[in-house]
Structure 1
């Protein structure tokens, strides 16, 4: 008879519900839960520091270039002047690319259909240049285009020409940049929440190992149920905390006169983005939580947990940096690898939701991640069972040896 169907025991899922309800209520009614809700104040400081790193990520994305759609002779003069000024002023002068202006030329269509990251198009003549593009890009480049046009006409001796402007509905550069901000924000928020909340699983496990509650639970219900119950209880507690923080943060933003309309909308839209964010947070939490429980089963004391927490934290950081690097290279092999690696897949996919409107990849990704959650839970529960059920006899071997090998079962004495 299997361990999961011993006579008198509850079925696995019902027993898991009992453990989850017990842990959820115990944490929710504890005095320390208030301090837990105050915890995110510290990650906000870290998030501000991470903003500097985010600027480096944005710099890896192609800078918008200026398209030129002038007469051939004027184009040659403009390009020569552009090269001279770019050599002197560097990145202040945007890159330049020729645009085919033959036939019925539509600047807005040319911007939206461009394969390069084109921010605006300059047309007209050197005496009266015309700049087409989004309002914010036109405002940023109007003076620079006038500077190049003056250099092309007189080598910098004449006054700056008046640059006329025509705004368009949007461009590849505008959409790419604004969606990148949303992708970065979603990815960073998902990482911070996972890093902040997943540690509760490890601390809860070590506490109950110390006061022998785990042994009592293991004797009464299947070990797989204990494992699942603790995971989902801590996930439910996490959603309680996220709800409180979201309401407080939303209230503060409303008082400051800010709303979602002030932010760059993701490619899939805000409702789908929030729904995917909840799903990917759940997957990231369950994946990391199952790893934490497996590691916690190897630690016998709080000191050993502290020893293990550093490499686990570094692993989380490396996974986040890998997903951030993949975000800046959409469609590349790096992004495919980040999607395939289970621990980085949720972070990569939430960034993709902000940059790509297709929904079917997220259905496949969630199914794929759920399969890995089942694998991690099964393997972790097996290791958890083999360690916890032996906790009655103290294993005095070093921690590294216990992590690499299993303790031999005692051979029964011959009768």
Structure 2
């Protein structure tokens, strides 16, 4: 008897019915909504904290004994030139004991005093990083000026030819920093979505198989329609969640000191959405296969191990690869789903490279779906224990 669904004008395709069921059941689930809301709050909170940190002026108190007051005053006066986010106030103390007391009683953040071979900053229990950086720069300049005057020359003459600058073949240092941070966010979002929705998809397949509901479904619609509906439904949910996160991130970034980069991030973000879609469809199909190979929930860890390892390779590859290895990986599916968007962020990518990488990823997704569909159909109705890939591939229809 044919299992093809009826296609009269009042009947929707079976895959669309399954897709709608997946979307509606998840999007009305409190845990899904609360999880999404929590991530939105987390992203907004992180961006808000970063913006606050970027605008915050760090005020520090520097204790100084009489033999260090002049140098401490120079540090306080020159601090804004070295770091405009650091404000130094000098606390004059009578002697070393008074300076130590000021540290212990939190009246001062650090104590400046001379040593046999220079100067030392002493703090109560942890180093004051911002103050240390400012003090090092100012003390070096002051000592150089004194030594140059003693030698009958100038600081400029002593430092001639000693300057080291940095440059990038692509972009600049600030853009490179932003690209690295946003690239990590892209990699994390892909990994997070593929793992969370993939596990949910595989678990739902196992539940239907273990309860034998799938046998009733299989009598009504083709299993390929069931697979298509599950993959498309979870893909739609993942895309909705991803778009929410990206929108919150870009809007939040517009309120930070990096707001000038928001227009430049729009293009790479659009590319990331395309790569995410192709890569997620391929992985979602593999997660459905992992669920169909298992007969119990306890089997999922074993059947999903190769897929989990692949996702870890994608994550660490996306985070750590650079140079020639990154260029090569940006064309190798499915790693290209996270590596190519990072390259686009950094700039300097030829126009055809993302198109080629996305085309290869789409071909990979199509092949994965074709293989996964065959494995899914042949393993889903087999009960009595975990099914191996070889058994699923060779099983009768």
* TM-score category (smaller protein): 0.5 to 0.7
**Aligned-residue offset at 1:409:** 6.4
Please, which of 268, 273, 278 is the counterpart of residue 273 of structure 2?
278
- 1:21 Cα deviation from its structure 2 partner: 1.3
Q: Equivalent residues in 2 for 1:219-298 (5 A)?
A: 219-249=219-249, 257-258=255-256, 261-262=259-260, 264=261, 269-298=264-293
Q: How many angstroms does 1:253 deviate by?
A: 5.4
Alpha-carbon displacement from aligned partner over 1:18-42 (angstroms, at most 9, x marks no partner): 2111211111122322233156489
Aligned match of 1:373: 365
How has the CA–CA distance of structure 1 residues 197 and 229 changed in structure 2, closer, same or farther, with 3 Å as cutoff?
A: same
1:298–1:387 CA contact under 8 A, matched in 2: yes
Q: Equivalences for 1:129-278 in 2 at 5 Å?
A: 160-161=155-156, 171-172=167-168, 175-198=171-194, 199=198, 200-249=200-249, 257-258=255-256, 261-262=259-260, 264=261, 269-278=264-273
Supply the distance in 1 between the matched residues of 2:150 and 2:285 (Cα, whole angstroms).
67
- Contact in 2 for aligned 1:9/1:220 (Cα 8 Å): no
Distance in 2 (CA, whole Å) between partners of 1:202 and 1:217 is 17
* Alignment partners' CA distance in 1, 2:394 and 2:370: 22
Q: Kindly tell me: are residues 188 and 233 of structure 1, through their superposed partners in 2, closer, same or farther at Cα, counting changes over 3 Å?
A: same
Matched, 1:383 2:367: no
Shift of 1:242: 2.6
Partner of 2:118 in structure 1? none
* CA distance, structure 1, for counterparts of residue 275 and residue 32 of structure 2: 24
In structure 2, the partner of 1:312 is: 307
Relative to the length of structure 1, the TM-score reads 0.58
Q: 1:39 to 1:314 in 2, by over 3 A?
A: farther
Q: Is the contact made by 1:206 and 1:300 (CA closer than 8 Å) also made in structure 2?
A: yes
Q: Name stretches of at least 5 consecutive residues in structure 2 with no aligned partner.
A: 48-133, 161-165
Partner of 2:26: 27
Please provide the CA RMSD for this pair. 4.3
Distance apart, 1:373 and its partner CA: 0.8
2:332 equivalent in structure 1:
341
Whole-angstrom distance in 2 between the partners of 1:195 and 1:367: 21
Change (3 A) 1:275 1:250: closer
Which residue in the other structure is 1:395 paired with? 384
Alpha carbons 2:336, 2:361 under 8 Å: kept: yes
Deviation at 1:286, TM superposition (A): 1.2
Closer, same or farther: CA 276–259 of 1 in aligned 2, 3 Å: farther
Q: Which stretch of structure 1 is more off in the superposition, 226-235 or 300-309?
A: 300-309
What SS is found at the alignment partner of 2:13? Answer: helix
Q: Give the TM-score, by structure 2 length.
A: 0.60
Structure 2 distance, partners of 1:190, 1:201, is: 22
Q: CA deviation at 1:281?
A: 1.3
For residues 344-363 of structure 1, the aligned pairs below 5 Å read 344-357=335-348, 358-363=350-355
- Contact 2:18–2:229 under 8 Å retained in 1: yes
SS at match of 1:303: helix
Change (3 A) 1:289 1:409: closer
Could you report, residue by residue, the CA deviation over 1:327-354 in whole angstroms, capped at 9, with x for unpaired residues? Answer: x20xx2x234313321201111101111
Which of 312, 317, 323 matches 1:322? 317
In structure 1, C-alpha distance between the alignment counterparts of 2:42 and 2:389, rounded to whole Å: 31
In the alignment, structure 1 segments of 5+ residues that lack a partner are 49-138, 165-169, 411-415
The count of corresponding residues between Structure 1 and Structure 2 is 293
Deviation at 1:230, TM superposition (A): 1.0
